[in-house]
Amino acid sequence: MATQIVISYQDYIDVDGGNFIIQWADKGNSMPTLPDNTHYVVFNDAVGPNEIQTKNPSTGNMTGNTDLNSASDSVGNTTIQDLLDWGTTRQLQIETAQLQHDEAYTTALVAHEDAGNPTETFVWDKTWPDYDPNYS
């Protein structure tokens, strides 16, 4: 279970201190909603404060910081614990989809070669999101 999360709004999500990075496009369809004035959410054990950094959505200018002291603190209507739980779940979903993709690729390549076709003529046009029903 994730114990740390850093969210760079509309950029990336860092789950557990760099152990797993989720690009914003890969966040899936069940990420909890964050207010549109969120710039960063920092809840980790790195040097520096745990905080929500906010911005004016229309100008992009920073408007302030709110300290985070525990996983029960909230970003809008979403607790940090909700985000940690979501991060754990999303990481597992992505890893499962990547594994399924890799297994399908290997199976298709072997079938291609077993049919007498040269490896260099094998074409694979799928990516791991094709195997992720939770992808946005």
What is residue 26's predicted lDDT score, i.e. its pLDDT? 97
What is residue 101's predicted lDDT score, i.e. its pLDDT? 98
**Whole-angstrom distance, CA of residue 40 vs CA of residue 65:** 9
* Domain boundaries, position 51: 5-131
DSSP, res 67: E
What is residue 83's predicted lDDT score, i.e. its pLDDT? 98
Mind listing the pLDDT tens digit of every residue in the chain (136 residues)? 899 999 999 999 999 998 899 999 999 999 999 999 999 999 999 999 999 999 999 999 999 999 999 999 999 999 999 999 999 999 999 999 999 999 999 999 999 999 999 999 999 999 999 999 999 7
- Does some domain include residue 51? yes
- Does some domain include residue 136? no
Q: Give me the number of domains the chain comprises.
A: 1
- Does some domain include residue 29? yes
3-state SS record for the chain: CCCCEEEECCCEEEECCCCEEEEHHHCCCCCCCCCCCEEEEEECCCCCCCEEEEECCCCCCEEEEEECCCCCCEECCEEHHHHHHHHHHHHHHHHHHHHHHHHHHHHHHHHHHHCCCCHHHCCCCCCHHHHCCCCC
- Does some domain include residue 41? yes
- Does some domain include residue 106? yes
